[in-house]
Amino acid sequence: MNANRFGQILTLTTFGESHGPALGAVIGGCPAGVAWDQELLLKWLERRRPGHSEWVSARKEADVPEVLSGVFEGKTLGTPIAVLIRNQDARSKDYDSLQPGQRTGHADDLWRDKFSHSDPRGGGRSSGRETVARVIGASVAQMIAKHLAPEISVTGFAKQIGPFELSEDEFQTALEKSQHSMWWADQYSGRFPQAEKSKALSEFLAEAKSEGKSYGGEAQIVVRGLPGGLGQPVFHKLKSDLAAAVLGVGASFSFVLGDELASQSEGSQFHSQSSPVTYGGIRGGISTGEPIQFKVGFKPTSSVLDLAKAGRHDPCIVPRAIPVLEAMVWLVLVDHLLWQRLDRI
């Protein structure tokens, strides 16, 4: 079970498979007395699920949460919070003719070799469907943050998808707009925050889906309002926990904190800069109180050509991964907020 649990103080245990009867989350370590915000939970689930554009997976899931434990009369009890999401639109027959090794990028063959017995339908446990549990956990984390540090915001948007990329001016405009509304990029197709390019991107991805093509890209994450002093100096540096969190999202392959040219810089110049981008808001593994900025790279979706045309697959992971990245960041931040209360008398 340990490999299915995330966090130190605030813990998230996820369970379920893509084509099983249900998936869910068990959140441990949530203090008693936290105001339960059902609307916030529903908003997180809505942001993650497919159906927001014609080029995403055609799988239709209502994602109605059943809160089984840990909440009474609108407040948390300090006991494990269990939330269940039932699968309603799994189409298992699509996988009846699947041959071993046919979806190499999905690592179905590695799962089979590792465990001997595995469920390949929809990717089983490694499916993007599993991330429904992560946004459940994030909603609880954000509920806790409202009590401990209500000024925190976590914003994600697409910086690059396939041949489409924000220019430096467009990127700076996106950063400016993200200060005023946390989920502001949701209004753009592909969560790519440039109106003209976003429209062209939508047409590009719709064509890619019809042709069975897929593309990778980069997501940008910005954290604001985080107090200084979060993170441990050795094994649980804030940067290492953030990296582990986002690189645990399917199809992710790179993490860059702060100035991406740091490895090419000369020290006396690099360390004389005062921009918060220089260190990405973290020094010595501990938050400085400045905005945290990092980007996450994603590989192209593994199902391509005839396999993609026959199934229900996204031509690009980035747009739907953004709420999941944000979710993992919330889990890390609130875990460290709770941890900080144990750091000194």
Total number of domains constituting the chain: 1
Structure tokens at 298: 């994603």
Q: Where residue 1 falls among pLDDT bands split at 50, 70, 90? A: low
Highest mean pLDDT among 71-75, 120-124, 281-285: 71-75
Q: Where residue 111 falls among pLDDT bands split at 50, 70, 90? A: confident
Residue 336 placed within a domain: yes
Interval 195-245: pLDDT, tens: 999 999 999 999 999 898 999 999 999 999 999 999 999 999 999 999 999
Check residues 66 and 124 and name the one with the higher pLDDT: 66
Residue 204 placed within a domain: yes
Spatial CA neighbour of 89 closest among 144, 21, 43: 21
Residue 59 placed within a domain: yes
Highest mean pLDDT among 31-40, 98-107, 264-273: 31-40
Q: Is the pLDDT of residue 184 over 80?
A: yes
Residue 27 placed within a domain: yes
Region 310-314 average pLDDT: 73
CA 172 from chain centre, in angstroms, equals 22
**Structural domain of residue 220, as residue ranges?**
2-340
Region 315-332 average pLDDT: 96
Q: Is the pLDDT of residue 309 over 70?
A: no
Interval 28-41: pLDDT, tens: 999 999 999 999 99
Own/partner contacts of 52-58, CB < 8 Å, gap of 24 or more, are 53/189, 53/190, 53/202, 53/205, 53/319, 54/202, 54/206, 54/209, 55/202, 55/205, 55/206, 55/208, 55/209, 55/314, 55/315, 56/314, 56/319, 56/320, 57/312, 57/313, 57/314, 58/312
Region 148-173 average pLDDT: 97
The pTM of this model reads: 0.91
The per-residue pLDDT for 114 is 86
Residue 345 placed within a domain: no
Residue 309 placed within a domain: yes
Q: Where residue 102 falls among pLDDT bands split at 50, 70, 90? A: low
CA–CA dist 57, 125 (Å, integer): 18
**Which domain CATH number covers 187?**
3.60.150.10
Residue 140 placed within a domain: yes
Q: Where residue 103 falls among pLDDT bands split at 50, 70, 90? A: low
The per-residue pLDDT for 116 is 86
CA–CA dist 206, 336 (Å, integer): 40
Q: Is the pLDDT of residue 251 over 70?
A: yes
Task: Give percent of the chain with pLDDT exceeding 90.
Answer: 69
